[in-house]
Structure 1
Amino acid sequence: MKAVGLIVEYNPFHNGHLYHLNASREAADAEVVICVMSGYFLQRGEPALLPRRERTKMALRSGADLVVELPYIFSSQHADWFARGAVSVLEQLGTDTICFGSEQGDIKPFLKLLEFLQTRREEYSSYIKSFSKQGFSYPKAASMAFQQLAPDRELPDLTKPNNILGFHYIQAIHDLQSSIQPETVRRMQAGYHDETLSSSAISSATSIRRRLIEEKQPVHTVQEAVPEASFQVMESFINDGSFFYDWEKYYPYLQAKALTLSPSLLSELYEAEEGIHHRFQSFIKTENSFHAFMSALKTKRYTWTRLQRFAVQVLTGTFKKEAGAALASNGADHIRILGMNPQGQAYLNRVKKQCALPLFSKLPKHKTLQQQLDEKAAMAYYLPLPPASRKKRWRQEYEQPPIILKERT
């Protein structure tokens, strides 16, 4: 059974994701689509709009065959660790191809780019250090360094967010000496950061979240931008008395964490670099909302994304020492199964004997360090809920089995 792997967040699953899933299956000529999905906190340092169980339902009902979780220590990371964690999971699951969406839309320039940067790695790193010392953020410094090397115009544009992630997937495949073949499909229409809903059927996840969170519009106002399965999951979620998660709901908890830790202890949290914790602790005393806090905190050096990632580490209480130990394996140390259909179940039964990592359907009693961090992330994610609901969700972390669809969609 040939399998294609997708590295996803589905925040939420929209029409562009449906196109990517179907196009990837076709491009890889795959019988099985495996999704490695971030759990509660995402790559740009944001809480997921909906819990992972709801997003798993969206994926399975829209055509995915198997959904597994990307451990927390990789899900809220800069692109290289994010990619390395996800690729390591797909490698262990015997995936034949990884297919990602990109602005480039052609895999050959990415492979050419890998060779180009491999031969000029020292020069590239030197330029990054030079631009970083001038006060530019790492992403900006890396982009400027790339342009400084005067690359061939046929190479992918590394100022584009999906091209950047795609290149890191290819880099991770190379570094892990994986046999997985990379493939890409062109990202359709809406840009990654577009904040307004498109008049076409494909809108960005950012614009959908903005409509639901900032504009406080009802779910039916985004119905045309998402598959029917996603709309039904979101509508049911809200009708059951739940709410969509965003940073504003966590701000009181973030304040409490940040202001009750000493500066020295705050500096020991993961991502606390270059004195960022001093600025963080100073501004969080005076600002009344997360957005106001971030607007005051952001500088040319400290990007919004970097600051959000540090905020996640503060909220979850993740320290450098434990993060370093969790990353020492250079990839995932377990695979947690979130959901599957009959095709996915058959595939999993076929490959699990060759999988070197333990497979789990729920958190075990004796946890690895990565699983301990997963648990802390889950505990933090549900903090905004009322006590009874919070207790229920926490209990489900240990008791709920994976979602199993009886039929393939």
Structure 2
Amino acid sequence: MKAVGVVVEYNPFHNGHLYHLRESVKKSNADIVIAVMSGYFLQRGEPALVSKWERTKMALQGGVDLVVELPYAFATQKAETFANGAVSILDALHCSYLCFGSETGDIAPFLHTNEFLQKESEQYEEYIKHFMQTGVNYPTALSLAYQKISNRKDTLDLSQPNNILGFHYVKAISKLNSNMIPLTIKRYKAGYHDKDFASTSIASATSIRNSLFDQNADISSYVPNDTYTILEKYKEQYGVFHQWENYFSFLKYSLLTMKEEELKSIYEVEEGLENRVLKLIIDSHCFQDFMEQLKTKRYTWTRLQRLCMHILTRTSKQEMNLINQHETSPYIRLLGMSERGQEYLRSIKKNLKLPIISKVSGFHHPLFEIDLRAAATYFMIFPEPLRSRLLKTEYTTPPIRMSY
């Protein structure tokens, strides 16, 4: 059986994702689809709209055969680290292909760019440092450095968000010496950052979330029926779609009761940011207000949201150093599978390159401890006894099985 891998957040699963899945299968001619999915907190430094279990159901109902979790330590990082973790898991699961969406839609520029930057890596790194010293943020420095050294027509536009992620997937495959073949599909209609609906059937996850937070908006045209039902049921059952404002009081409490030295030990708190954070939190009344004051030219909104998330989950630099040393995931957390996915897993089980976790009890790893802390943090917004019941699901929920 041949497997095609996809790297996803499904926040939530929508028609664009469904299109991507179908095109991935068509392009790879694969027998099954494996999704590496972020858990409770996401790459842009935000809580997921609904829990990972609900999003796993969306994925399985949309046609994914195996859903595994990208650990918090990779899921909440810059593009390169995010890609390293995801690709290492797909490689460990013996995927034949990795298929990602991009603004370019052609794999050749990704391959050319990766090869080019490997040859010019020293000069590239020098230009990145140079542009960082001018005060621009890291993603901008990467793009400017690349523009400075590249004058070839067959290289990639690295100012586009999906192109950036795709480039790092290709780079990670190369670094791992993986046999996986990268494929790409052009993003269809909606842009990654679109805040409003751009068509009658395809919309970005950002615009769908914005509409969900607006009580009167209708998203039914933009998501599969199964997704719509899951979202409706979650809101009815728990009364909320998760967003940063739900967590602001916990963030403020953490900062007001945290000593400066402790804050300096938190991952991504650098260059005196602790002083700015502690000063601004006192008079901030909501997360939006806090972020608008905190934002500078040097730090992107996303980078600062991730910093806040690491404060909330008490994730330290020392803990995160583990992935800086190895750059690959040390385990695979199984979230759900179809009958085909179960059959595939059975066929590769003896040759798995990483331990696979289907039961939480008995497994110990420092990075897995962060995953468990993230789960606890995610459910803290609920009143008791609901909070304790939901906390328990992280330990008691078995992988979801879907029959077609």
TM-score range, shorter chain: over 0.9
Tell me, yes or no, if the aligned pair for 1:45 and 1:306 is still in contact at 8 Å.
yes
Tell me, in whole angstroms, the C-alpha distance in 1 between the residues paired with 2:280 and 2:289: 9
* Matched letter for residue 216 of structure 1: Q
Deviation, structure 1 residue 326: 4.7
1:323 aligns with 2:306: no
Q: Deviations along 1:12-66, whole A, 9 cap, x unmatched?
A: 0011100001100111110000000000110111110110000000010011111
Tell me, in whole angstroms, the C-alpha distance in 2 between the residues paired with 1:148 and 1:208: 37
Tell me, yes or no, if the aligned pair for 1:326 and 1:369 is still in contact at 8 Å.
no
Instruction: Write out the 4+ residue segments of structure 1 that deviate beyond 2 Å after TM superposition.
Output: 215-218, 325-330
Q: Which residues of structure 1 form unaligned runs of 5+? A: none
Q: 1:364 to 1:90 in 2, by over 3 A?
A: same
- Could you say what secondary structure the match of 1:35 adopts? strand
Residue in 1 that maps onto 2:304: 307
5 Å-filtered alignment, 1:4-15, equals 4-15=4-15
* Matched letter for residue 212 of structure 2: L
Residue in 2 that maps onto 1:397: 394
5 Å-filtered alignment, 1:63-142, equals 63-142=63-142
Tell me, yes or no, if the aligned pair for 2:189 and 2:199 is still in contact at 8 Å.
no
TM-score of the two chains, using structure 2 as the length reference: 0.98
1:268 aligns with 2:248: no
- Could you say what secondary structure the match of 2:380 adopts? coil
* Matched letter for residue 215 of structure 2: K
The two structures, once aligned, show a CA RMSD in angstroms of 1.1
5 Å-filtered alignment, 1:198-237, equals 198-213=198-213, 215-217=214-216, 221-237=218-234
Deviation, structure 1 residue 364: 2.4
Question: How many pairs align?
Answer: 404
Tell me, in whole angstroms, the C-alpha distance in 2 between the residues paired with 1:166 and 1:292: 33
Residue in 2 that maps onto 1:252: 249
Tell me, yes or no, if the aligned pair for 1:363 and 1:371 is still in contact at 8 Å.
no
Tell me, in whole angstroms, the C-alpha distance in 2 between the residues paired with 1:143 and 1:197: 28
Residue in 2 that maps onto 1:149: 149
Q: Deviations along 1:86-106, whole A, 9 cap, x unmatched?
A: 001001101000000000000
- Could you say what secondary structure the match of 1:6 adopts? strand
Tell me, yes or no, if the aligned pair for 2:190 and 2:199 is still in contact at 8 Å.
no
Tell me, yes or no, if the aligned pair for 1:362 and 1:397 is still in contact at 8 Å.
no
Q: Deviations along 1:234-282, whole A, 9 cap, x unmatched?
A: 1111122331000000000001111211111101101111122211111
Tell me, yes or no, if the aligned pair for 1:73 and 1:327 is still in contact at 8 Å.
no
Tell me, in whole angstroms, the C-alpha distance in 2 between the residues paired with 1:116 and 1:43: 27
Tell me, yes or no, if the aligned pair for 2:4 and 2:98 is still in contact at 8 Å.
yes
Residue in 2 that maps onto 1:26: 26
Residue in 2 that maps onto 1:298: 295
Residue in 2 that maps onto 1:385: 382
Tell me, in whole angstroms, the C-alpha distance in 2 between the residues paired with 1:5 and 1:26: 13
Deviates more, 1:366-375 or 1:54-63: 366-375
Deviates more, 1:364-373 or 1:387-396: 364-373
Tell me, yes or no, if the aligned pair for 2:112 and 2:154 is still in contact at 8 Å.
no
Deviation, structure 1 residue 153: 2.8
Tell me, yes or no, if the aligned pair for 2:70 and 2:85 is still in contact at 8 Å.
yes
Tell me, in whole angstroms, the C-alpha distance in 1 between the residues paired with 2:224 and 2:139: 33
Tell me, in whole angstroms, the C-alpha distance in 2 between the residues paired with 1:377 and 1:328: 22
Tell me, in whole angstroms, the C-alpha distance in 1 between the residues paired with 2:324 and 2:230: 34
Tell me, yes or no, if the aligned pair for 1:3 and 1:95 is still in contact at 8 Å.
yes
Determine which of 320, 328, 332 is the counterpart of 2:329: 332
Tell me, yes or no, if the aligned pair for 1:203 and 1:225 is still in contact at 8 Å.
yes
- Could you say what secondary structure the match of 1:91 adopts? helix
- Could you say what secondary structure the match of 2:132 adopts? helix
* Matched letter for residue 398 of structure 2: P
Tell me, in whole angstroms, the C-alpha distance in 2 between the residues paired with 1:370 and 1:22: 33
Q: 1:37 to 1:258 in 2, by over 3 A?
A: same
Tell me, in whole angstroms, the C-alpha distance in 2 between the residues paired with 1:136 and 1:362: 44
* Matched letter for residue 403 of structure 1: I
TM-score of the two chains, using structure 1 as the length reference: 0.97
1:38 aligns with 2:35: no
Deviation, structure 1 residue 138: 0.4
- Could you say what secondary structure the match of 1:382 adopts? helix
Residue in 1 that maps onto 2:175: 175
Tell me, in whole angstroms, the C-alpha distance in 2 between the residues paired with 1:87 and 1:118: 18
Tell me, in whole angstroms, the C-alpha distance in 1 between the residues paired with 2:14 and 2:273: 35
Tell me, in whole angstroms, the C-alpha distance in 1 between the residues paired with 2:274 and 2:164: 27
Tell me, in whole angstroms, the C-alpha distance in 2 between the residues paired with 1:330 and 1:364: 25
- Could you say what secondary structure the match of 1:211 adopts? helix
Tell me, yes or no, if the aligned pair for 1:47 and 1:381 is still in contact at 8 Å.
yes
Deviation, structure 1 residue 289: 0.7
Q: Deviations along 1:372-406, whole A, 9 cap, x unmatched?
A: 01001101111111121110111111111111012
* Matched letter for residue 325 of structure 1: L
Tell me, in whole angstroms, the C-alpha distance in 2 between the residues paired with 1:278 and 1:404: 48
Q: Deviations along 1:271-319, whole A, 9 cap, x unmatched?
A: 1111222111111111101011101110100110000010110000011
Tell me, in whole angstroms, the C-alpha distance in 1 between the residues paired with 2:128 and 2:332: 34
- Could you say what secondary structure the match of 1:136 adopts? coil
Q: Deviations along 1:176-233, whole A, 9 cap, x unmatched?
A: 11111100000001100000012321100000111112x2335xx0010111111111
